[in-house]
Each structure stands twice: as structure tokens, then as C-alpha cells.
Structure 1
Amino acid sequence: MPANGKDIAKTPYYITTPIYYVNDKPHIGHVYTTLACDVLARFMRLDGRRVKFLTGTDEHGQKVEQSARKNGLEPQAFTDRMSQNFRDLSAAWQFSNDDFIRTTESRHVKAAQAIWVRLKEAGYIYLDKYSGWYAVRDEAFYGEDELTRTEDGRMIAASGAECEWVEEPSYFFKLSAFEDTLLQFYDQNPDFIGPDGRRNEVISFVKGGLRDLSISRTTFKWGIPVPDDPDHIMYVWLDALTNYITAVGYPDENADEYQAFWPAELHMVGKDILRFHAVYWPAFLMAAGLAPPKRVFAHGWWTNEGQKISKSLGNVIDPYELIETYGLDQTRYFLLREVPFGNDGDFSHRAMVNRMNNDLANDFGNLGQRVLSMIYKNCGGQIPEPGELRPADEAMLAAADSALARMRSELALQAFHRALEAHHAVVAQANRYVDEQAPWALRKTDKARMATVLYVLAEVIRKLAILAQPFMPNGPAALLGQMNQSDAARDFAALGTRLVPGTEIAKPQGVFPRYVEDEETKGAS
């Protein structure tokens, strides 16, 4: 990442979630991926960058066709209904995506068929017959060495999906031709896959040898027709992955968005679909003469109170219940603060309440409310005029001034937890500064000094609120509103300014309430 904000502002930023399979009901995994992308998109916009943030739904495949039939619907009607679930989720969680793509859209059919033609004309597609193990649930092909045979003879993939033996005519993509090319690409682009442990897994997989990939099916019809051979439909993953270039205007490579945003800065994915994004997708793009994305990051999974999340256990985490129970800002904060991003994490009620009450209510929220309340009460409801700054004041302001650079560098690595640690370190320092300077005592002994201390604190709170906006869209905005900061004064450029003395503030209100346990919850925890 460039070293300063001026250079960064010149670089467009394109970030994507995977497109979510419409057979799934939105769950914590979907929220986690999209939340991470939302925070990065918001951060980059505030940092002056032109941003495109894409999410959407993957709507083709045998599994969708079967589910539609079970529900007595045509596949298109079924996908229309199911896709809306993900739009509703985005609205509830205040995700700021700029585009929402569906693979049933005409723009996407056009793009997917165009890349097929490019691959075929380049000599990387050939017609043969596929015989092998296929998991309908995963929409994936598996080698026998990747499967386990149960006592009753069923073949099970590591994902838990049952596989069936498939024999049918199929077009193949010459994936085997890209083994050395991919390894060279990974070597030349060490940041292409994150975190490092996932990168090592992908390299090991490719070194183990790549087989040509079956990329069409004939046994069902719900998919994008293969150009010039309508008996075949495109393999759902070739179709799905192409969404990332569809959304920036492909096949028109001269389109403004394609020129600005491709290659994508970051594809954010769950660790279970890394192979598709870090092996198949760059190979497809290279074969078509197109640039691969700059980075693919695979995050971990969540458990619930120490248990694997599953429908059979009845412990699925409902994204709507989360924000209803704990609050939107608080839940967004917890999910990205609690666990190093990239690792697996455990959701627990107790951990959630601790973060809400300690980091947000006690530390950040209380800092804002008590300082602004002192200003409102003792300074005529206006930001006071500071006097001469002492070393302690300079150190406090310097800590707040340096937070952006630290958070920027951590988010460039998708280290959300460390970015929030950097933010909280300034909150903690500000609380220590309040206690050491004791402005409530200065009110009686040295009002000029009190004014300086309160000015420094107000300035630090302003900066902390601006920096917290990408993570929590409501509380920090309310804090800035109480400080009478205009919308134009809330981006990161405003961090290079200072508060104007005499600015009137509103009567302070708490923005991060404490979570109070009811008796039933106390007994269960």
C-alpha cells in the first residue's frame, strides 16, 4: 500500500464478497464476510479512494433446480425470492455495497459466455467425457483420494457432502497446463493469498498436480448455455466466478469501471472456497488473457459457545437476532475485534457482553459522554479555547494523530482486530489522561488549564469517532453530531484539521449503552 494518503487517494479500490448461493438462508458466515468487506469499503471511501463494493447471489446449478422443484416453483421464481433474502440482510446490517449482482441477470449471461468463447478460442477448452465423483451440495468434483467411503458404501467429501458417480459428455478446461504458471505467479506475488497459512495450503495443492477441470453439464438445464452447444450448460463455478468481471463491465474491457477497478484489489472468501478463487479463477483469467485479482483473503469460521454450528444441533446463529439482542454497532464491533481475522472464532454471549460493556460502554462511550458533559456544563456548551499545550497534551494529541496510519496499515493486511486494537489504545490513553489531568478538579483551581485539557480531549474524541465510522455506522456518527461536525467534516481529510474553539455542542447523550442482563439470562450464562 502506498505510504501516504495522497497517493492512496489516486488508487481505485474494488472489493468483493463471494456471491452467496441462494439455497442458503443468510447466516453468520455470510454476515462475517460481507461485514469485513463493508468496513474496508467504508474505510477506503473515507480515505478518499474511489470504491466499488460488490456482493450478490449465485443462482444456477443442480442444487437450485432441485430445490425449486421441491418448493413447487420455477427456478427463476425460486431464485427471485431467495436472492431477496440477501438484499434484506444487507439493509438490516447497513452494508454499503455499490452493486448487487445476480448470475441470472442478462449482463452476467453475456459476460460468462464471452469468457467461455475467449477460453475456447485460446485453445483451453476441449470436449470429452466426464467420469467421476461429483457433490451436488458443493457443486464440486472430487478425486477418489479426496473422499471417504462409509460402511454403507457412500462416498463423502471432507466438507461432509455426499458424492455421486457421474458419467456424461463434458467440456474440459486445461487446468493442468497452468500448474507451473500458477506456482510462478504465487512466487512473484507473495501477497496474493492471505493469510500465510492458507497460501501454503494452496501452493501444496497445486504442487500435488492439477487435473483438467470439467466445466459443463448435460444432466440438468438450470444454468448458462454453452455458446454454440445448448445441450451443455456452464459449470456453476466458471459461471459464478465470472461475476467479478461482469460487474465492472466485461466483456467491454474499455468500460470505465473495468479500466478503473480491474484487477480487483481484494476478493474476500471463506476458507472452504479458497481453492476456487486462488487456483481455478486465476487460471481462467490467465487463459483468457485477463489479469488476476491482486489478493484473495480466506477467513475462518465461527462456532457457537464452543460447538460447531449446524442445523441438526439447533445452534445456528440468526443474524437478525444478533443485532436485535445486542445492537448493530456492538455486534459489528465484536465480530471484528474478538478474533484475529483469518482464524476460526467462537461466539459466546459472555464474550459479546464483555466487549459491549468494557470496550464500548465503559471505555469509548463513557469517555465521550463525560468529557462532552463537562464541556457542556462548564464551558457554556462550546468547545473551549485551549491555552499553551504541555507535554502530556502534545503526547495525547500525537497518539490520536498517529492512529490513522496504524489502522490503514493493519487494514491493508485485513488485520481488523489489530486496527481496532490501535483505536482502543488511543481510547485507553485518553481515559488515563482524563484521570491524570482531573479537569473536574481544575474547574476549581485553574479554569484556563481545565479548558485546555477539555479541548485536547474533545479533539481526541472527534478523531476517534471519525476513525470508528467504518466499523460502527451509528454510534460514532451520533457522537460527531453532538459535536456539531458537518457531514463534510467526517472523512479522513478532516483528521488533518483541529476543532474550532467556540463550536457549539449539543447536550451529550450516551451512544453505547451497557448491556444489562435479565434474570433469565444471568441464570443461563
Structure 2
Amino acid sequence: MNPFFISTPIYYVNAKPHLGHAYTTIVADSVNRIHKLQNKPTFFLTGTDEHGDKIVEAAAKNNQTPEEYVDRISALFRETWPGLEIQPDRFIRTTDPKHKKCVQDILQKVYDNGDIYFGEYGGHYCFGCERFYTDKELKDGLCPDHLEKPKFIQEKNYFFRMKKYLEPLREHIQNNPDFIRPERYRNEVLGMLGEELSDLCISRPKTRLTWGIELPFDQDYVTYVWFDALINYVSALDWPDGDDFKNYWSGAHHLVAKDILKPHAVFWPTMLMSAGIPLYKSLRVHGYWTIRETKMSKSLGNVVEPMAMKEKYGLSAFRYFLLREMQFGLDASFSEEALVGRLNADLANDLGNLTNRVLAMTHKYFKGQVPEAVEPDSRDRETMDLGVECFGDYVRLFENFEFAKALSRLWVFVSHLNKYVDQSAPWALFKEKETVRLQTVMYVLLEGLRKIALHLWPVMPGASEQIMEQLGQPFDLQVADLGAETSHWQGLVPGTLVARKSNLFPRVDLDQGAEKDLKDSQQGEQAREPEVSFEDFQRLKLVTGRVVKADKVKGADKLYLLLVDIGEDRPRQIVAGLADFYSPQDLENRQVVVLANLAPKKIRGVKSRGMVLAVRHGREMALLKADPETLPGNKVS
């Protein structure tokens, strides 16, 4: 079977682990687990990046040597992951001797190829980013990330002939649409390659920096931190002759946040080309977690600590929320009230209540033993068929890093099983002594729960394993096989004893501090916003729709002309300012919500009849939509 290799970025040790680190690493762990469940050979890599100016600065502030400082912070990362049920196969440090040797071997290989030269360069150097900026890249003379004026430095350094490989890289990206995903980031990288990129400065003189890996061909210089750090993805696999490199590199997927897109999508593949190493399979890019629409920042005091959230609300709820709430690729807003909302609605009410009811009924009607499904009828087969369909969609979407959609699809079946309980009414069947029918209904419910628990193992391993144990079937990765789950509904052996009850997801009330924050926020909004009556709201015709086609509006860079099916005889023509956020291909066949009775208006000479509704996530945009099964033309109320 095809191997699967997933890597997180190696985290820079100038700060302790926070929500952003936790999200990326939980995503990697979850994707790794879904492949494990399909019996694929997998390798999951994470670690810490430990060289550079910022480390020396941070160590000095803490009255430590760089070695002491990186040992302490790296240990924080290593010790945090098991507490979040994260199980990497390898934790790498760029101070590892084997990594240092690999970096020097690759530098020598690139140098011997004639792709490294010595030259003089003057540029605007940001110590926070540890990189040079051109005049064009600065914003009002400031670093775009740190909003500080960089220092102009003129010095002699070594340079990598990156420009030599930019055209081959562009061709590879164009010929391999899945090389960078989501598509918006692929387009962003192609845009970068259309600019005049220069060769890459890959050294720092020891007169300015000593905390780094020496160049093998000049001991007066150390390696630029990015050239050092990126090589971890192959040094961890024991490039070039290690079995792990031979077995896993062909299935390599890198997972990164959007702020480090350029090093991974431009620097790294050109380095690989020069070194004669095959390119990775794909780069998967996610957005930021914001706090009340503001990016997390130590200076603002809004950094979320993952272990605190785990202790407060439980690990399963925390992992589930992160994967369910963020549409991969877009920014998402983190709040405790949103986490509690997901916990209470999805986990406590939907899944937790369903599990507890089914276990209790099994004890009441069958002394706690799994009955036999004797005569499934059309209602049971409809339920089983829907389950198989939802499970198949869930795996496909999960493998494609569409975690929110995957969980939404799985919850279609969770919701259906709750309805199936009410419609089948086991209590009435028991009262009327319809034993054969009761056996079948209860088996369908118990087996459905087993399948749900198994599929949830990548998202919340601990809770999944507990549900399996409550169903009398302890989790065993050696026998688990998601592929086989789509072909049968017979995983539970009749006669198996199940637990009496389940209370894995107790409801949680917001603490007083969180309630006060929410109340203050609501009061502030009410003070600023005018109120509308219910009659005002009723006059709005909000309907679901589906984008049939999307084209650029001539002469307008930010506008699309959309044709939207809202259940009428012909699609509506709507002009929308979405070109900065979506490609036409991203929009076509996408579900949307439309304000259909907005007065028509000409925009850039094009008549627009309606408005597509969206939500801003920081600098990103997310379209509003309804349940996946909702047809165009349904009214929002």
C-alpha cells in the first residue's frame, strides 16, 4: 500500500506551545491516524527549530546559554504532545548531531553542483523574521509582520542560485494541481513566482551570529536558519540511505500555517531540486486562529494555552472543536463559548445522549447483551445504507484535509440514529412484545454506534476507545480496517455484554468569567448597533442557493459575476466581491445563502439581483451555507 508521511513545521523555540502549535499538530496526528485505520504504513514527524538570532536573544533574556534555553523549551513541546493524545513517530531537534551532519552534506552537495556562490548584499534585515526584505516587500518602510523598521545591513555572504529553479518549480506546480492545497495558496505561490524573486542568502557571518550550523566549505559562516530547518523533513528519515527515507519520502505531505508558505513552497522545493532529491507529494496550508477577530499575540495577552483548555473542558471536546470549527485553509475564531456550544450540542446532546440511551435500552430489554439482527426491513436498510455513505464520505473528506466537512457528514448519521430511535420506538416494541423487530432495531443502533466510535478515533482517540469498550469491543488497531466497514453491518457479535451507561460528554456551563465576557460583548454590540423588529427581519428573503458559474467582471479585479441557482426557473445573476478570497473553481457548485429580494443594482455596468452572504475571518472570507442536504430555494428563518 502507498506509504503516508505527514510532517508539521518544526516549531521555533522562542515561545512555549500555544493554540496554533496545538492545532497544527493535532491535525497531523488525526490525518496520520485515519491512514493507520486503513492499515497503511505511516510516519508522523514533528520537532523543534533551535538556531538563529531570536534564540540567542531569548536565551539572553532568560539568563541562559542558547544550549540551556533550547533544551528547556524543546522539552516543553515534547512533553505537551502526549497530553493532547498526539503520537509522533519522531521528534526531531535541529541541534541533533545527525541533523547537523545531514544539513552539511546537503549544503556540500548543492555547493558542488555550482548552486552556491559568494557575493555581497545590502538589504533591510528584520531580526524578528531573521530574513532580508526588499524595498517592495516592506509596507511603509516596515516589516509586514512585525511592523518595525528593519536594519539596513551590507555584508558578504553565500547565496543559493534559487532563480535557476523557479521556472521548473512553476511548471511542476502547474502540472500537479494537488502539489499545494487549498487552491488559493497554490495561486498565491504562482503569483510569487511571477514576481522578480532573487537568489537566496543562505549564510550569516560568525562575526554577527555563532549559534548555527557551520557551512562545510567555510567555517567563518553559519547556515541561514531556514536552510537549516527545512532539511529536517529528510534528515529525520535518515537521508539518503536510511530505510525510512526509502519507504516514506514518496508519500510526503507537509502541513504548515499560511505565514510560512513561501519558505515551504519556494525555498524548500528549489533546494530539493538542486540536491537531486524528489519533491514532496503535497503542501497543505491552513489559516490562523483568531481571538475575537484579532490574531493571537503575546503582547495583546490573548494567547490560548492548549493544556488549560484540556483541563477545563476535556481533551476530546478540545480536539473535536479544533477540527470541526476551522474550515481548513481559512482563518477561524476561537472562543470558550463556541467550544462549549460544540461540546454541549454535538457531543453531549447528539452523540453522548444517543450512546447512553442505547446502552440503557440494551440492558433493559436484553440484559445488556447485543441481540441478533433477525429481519432487517427497508427502514433498517435505509439507515445502514446512509451510514455506509456517510462513513465513506467522512474518510474521503478527512484524507483531503476537509475536517469540518468530514465531521459534518458524520454527524448527519449521528442525527439520523437519534431520529431512528424515536421513529422505531424500542420501548413500544418491548411493550407490544415485538421481539424480532426489537432485536433488529437495537442491533442496528449498537452497530451504528460502534462504527461511529471507530471513525472518530482519529479525532478523539480516548473517547473513541472508551465507547468501543462500552460496546464490549476494545479498540484494536491491528484488526481495525475502515475499508471493510463499508461492506458490512456485522461488527458486533450477538451476546456481547455492553456497559450499563455512558457519561463521556457531560454538559458544561460557561464559567462566570466567560459568561461575563460574552455578556459584555453582547451589551457592547447592542450599544453600537440599531435594533430591528421581527417584522423587519421577515421582509428579508434569505434563501439557500448553489453557484452554477463564476466569472471575473471585466475591468474589476475584485468582482465576480455569479450565476446562482436559488430554486427559480433560471439562475440569478449576482455580482460579489470575492475575487481576493476564492478562485472561480472554488466557487462553482458551492452552496451559499442569498439575500434574494435586495433591490437590483448595476455594478460596473453589470446588473446584480441579490447578495451572497459571507463572514469575515480576519483577512479571510467564509461563505454562509446551510446543511449539505439542503436544496436551493429553501428559506432561511
* Higher normalized contact order (CA 8 Å, seq sep 6+, divided by chain length): 1
- Mapped contact 1:17–1:54 kept (Cα < 8 A): yes
SS in structure 1 of the partner of residue 177 of structure 2: coil
Structure 2 residue 321 is the aligned partner of structure 1 residue 334: yes
Instruction: Tell me: CA distance 1:339–1:121, structure 2 relative to 1, closer, same or farther (3 Å).
Output: same
The alpha-carbon deviation at position 159 of structure 1 amounts to 4.8
Residue among 426, 439, 445 paired with 1:457: 445
In the aligned structure 2, how far is the partner of 1:187 from the partner of 1:308?
A: 32
Structure 2 residue 499 is the aligned partner of structure 1 residue 506: yes
Residue among 225, 230, 233 paired with 1:236: 225
- Mapped contact 2:2–2:251 kept (Cα < 8 A): no
- 1:402-435 CA-to-partner distances (Å, cap 9, x unmatched) read 3332122212321011111111111011111111
Residue among 290, 295, 298 paired with 2:277: 290
SS in structure 1 of the partner of residue 125 of structure 2: strand
Instruction: Tell me: CA distance 1:103–1:455, structure 2 relative to 1, closer, same or farther (3 Å).
Output: same
In the aligned structure 1, how far is the partner of 2:348 from the partner of 2:67?
A: 47
What does residue range 265-344 of structure 1 map to in structure 2 within 5 Å? Answer: 265-344=252-331
Structure 2 residue 48 is the aligned partner of structure 1 residue 60: no
In the aligned structure 1, how far is the partner of 2:475 from the partner of 2:363?
A: 22
- 1:4-41 CA-to-partner distances (Å, cap 9, x unmatched) read xxxxxx11110000000000221111111111101001
Structure 1 residue identity aligned to 2:444: V
Residue among 110, 117, 128 paired with 1:119: 110
Gaps of 5+ in 1: 1-9
Question: Normalised by the size of structure 1, how large is the TM-score?
Answer: 0.94
Map of 1:7 onto structure 2? none
- Mapped contact 1:168–1:217 kept (Cα < 8 A): no
- 1:317-352 CA-to-partner distances (Å, cap 9, x unmatched) read 111211112111101111111121110000122221
User: Greater shift after overlay, 334-343 or 310-319?
Assistant: 310-319
- 1:149-198 CA-to-partner distances (Å, cap 9, x unmatched) read 46xxxx32345354221222211001111221111011111111111111
Structure 2 residue 431 is the aligned partner of structure 1 residue 431: no
In the aligned structure 1, how far is the partner of 2:189 from the partner of 2:401?
A: 19
What does residue range 352-501 of structure 1 map to in structure 2 within 5 Å? Answer: 352-445=339-432, 446-488=434-476, 489-492=479-482, 495=485, 496=488, 497-501=490-494
Instruction: Tell me: CA distance 1:192–1:416, structure 2 relative to 1, closer, same or farther (3 Å).
Output: same
CA RMSD, Structure 1 to Structure 2 (Å): 1.5
Map of 1:223 onto structure 2? 212
The alpha-carbon deviation at position 518 of structure 1 amounts to 4.5
In the aligned structure 2, how far is the partner of 1:47 from the partner of 1:130?
A: 51
The alpha-carbon deviation at position 144 of structure 1 amounts to 1.0
Instruction: Tell me: CA distance 1:292–1:225, structure 2 relative to 1, closer, same or farther (3 Å).
Output: same
User: Greater shift after overlay, 304-313 or 38-47?
Assistant: 304-313
Structure 1 residue identity aligned to 2:107: W
- Mapped contact 2:272–2:278 kept (Cα < 8 A): yes
- Mapped contact 1:466–1:491 kept (Cα < 8 A): no
Map of 1:29 onto structure 2? 20
SS in structure 2 of the partner of residue 79 of structure 1: helix
Map of 1:191 onto structure 2? 178
Q: Give the number of the structure whose residues are more often helix, by fraction.
A: 1
- Mapped contact 1:147–1:158 kept (Cα < 8 A): no
Map of 1:4 onto structure 2? none
- Mapped contact 2:108–2:217 kept (Cα < 8 A): no
User: Greater shift after overlay, 84-93 or 31-40?
Assistant: 84-93
- Mapped contact 1:55–1:99 kept (Cα < 8 A): yes
In the aligned structure 2, how far is the partner of 1:352 from the partner of 1:63?
A: 34
Gaps of 5+ in 2: 519-637
Map of 1:172 onto structure 2? 159
Map of 1:204 onto structure 2? 191
- Mapped contact 1:142–1:157 kept (Cα < 8 A): no
- Mapped contact 1:179–1:209 kept (Cα < 8 A): no
In the aligned structure 1, how far is the partner of 2:2 from the partner of 2:165?
A: 30
Q: Percentage identity across aligned positions?
A: 41
- 1:382-414 CA-to-partner distances (Å, cap 9, x unmatched) read 001122111110111122223332122212321
The alpha-carbon deviation at position 148 of structure 1 amounts to 2.8
Map of 1:5 onto structure 2? none
The alpha-carbon deviation at position 257 of structure 1 amounts to 0.6
Structure 2 residue identity aligned to 1:457: L
The alpha-carbon deviation at position 494 of structure 1 amounts to 6.1
Instruction: Tell me: CA distance 1:520–1:156, structure 2 relative to 1, closer, same or farther (3 Å).
Output: closer
SS in structure 2 of the partner of residue 209 of structure 1: coil
The alpha-carbon deviation at position 231 of structure 1 amounts to 0.3
- Mapped contact 1:173–1:215 kept (Cα < 8 A): yes
In the aligned structure 2, how far is the partner of 1:128 from the partner of 1:308?
A: 38
- Mapped contact 1:326–1:515 kept (Cα < 8 A): yes
In the aligned structure 2, how far is the partner of 1:137 from the partner of 1:190?
A: 33
Instruction: Tell me: CA distance 1:14–1:373, structure 2 relative to 1, closer, same or farther (3 Å).
Output: same
- Mapped contact 1:54–1:99 kept (Cα < 8 A): yes
Structure 2 residue 87 is the aligned partner of structure 1 residue 96: yes
In the aligned structure 1, how far is the partner of 2:157 from the partner of 2:512?
A: 61
In the aligned structure 2, how far is the partner of 1:524 from the partner of 1:442?
A: 49
- Mapped contact 1:137–1:161 kept (Cα < 8 A): no
In the aligned structure 1, how far is the partner of 2:513 from the partner of 2:348?
A: 22
The alpha-carbon deviation at position 466 of structure 1 amounts to 0.1
SS in structure 1 of the partner of residue 241 of structure 2: coil
- Mapped contact 2:10–2:48 kept (Cα < 8 A): yes
In the aligned structure 2, how far is the partner of 1:38 from the partner of 1:333?
A: 13
Map of 2:150 onto structure 1? 163
In the aligned structure 2, how far is the partner of 1:428 from the partner of 1:136?
A: 52
Map of 1:38 onto structure 2? 29
- Mapped contact 2:124–2:150 kept (Cα < 8 A): yes
The alpha-carbon deviation at position 303 of structure 1 amounts to 1.1
In the aligned structure 1, how far is the partner of 2:461 from the partner of 2:333?
A: 24
Instruction: Tell me: CA distance 1:281–1:454, structure 2 relative to 1, closer, same or farther (3 Å).
Output: same
Map of 1:247 onto structure 2? 236
In the aligned structure 1, how far is the partner of 2:292 from the partner of 2:427?
A: 43
- Mapped contact 2:257–2:285 kept (Cα < 8 A): yes
- 1:203-253 CA-to-partner distances (Å, cap 9, x unmatched) read 001111220110000021100000031100011101000000001111xx2
Structure 1 residue identity aligned to 2:112: E
Structure 1 residue identity aligned to 2:217: D
User: Greater shift after overlay, 131-140 or 19-28?
Assistant: 131-140
Map of 1:14 onto structure 2? 5
In the aligned structure 1, how far is the partner of 2:440 from the partner of 2:181?
A: 45
SS in structure 2 of the partner of residue 479 of structure 1: helix
In the aligned structure 2, how far is the partner of 1:498 from the partner of 1:157?
A: 55
In the aligned structure 2, how far is the partner of 1:107 from the partner of 1:36?
A: 27
- Mapped contact 2:375–2:436 kept (Cα < 8 A): no
Instruction: Tell me: CA distance 1:245–1:310, structure 2 relative to 1, closer, same or farther (3 Å).
Output: same
- Mapped contact 2:3–2:251 kept (Cα < 8 A): no
Question: Normalised by the size of structure 2, how large is the TM-score?
Answer: 0.78
SS in structure 1 of the partner of residue 250 of structure 2: coil
In the aligned structure 1, how far is the partner of 2:387 from the partner of 2:458?
A: 17
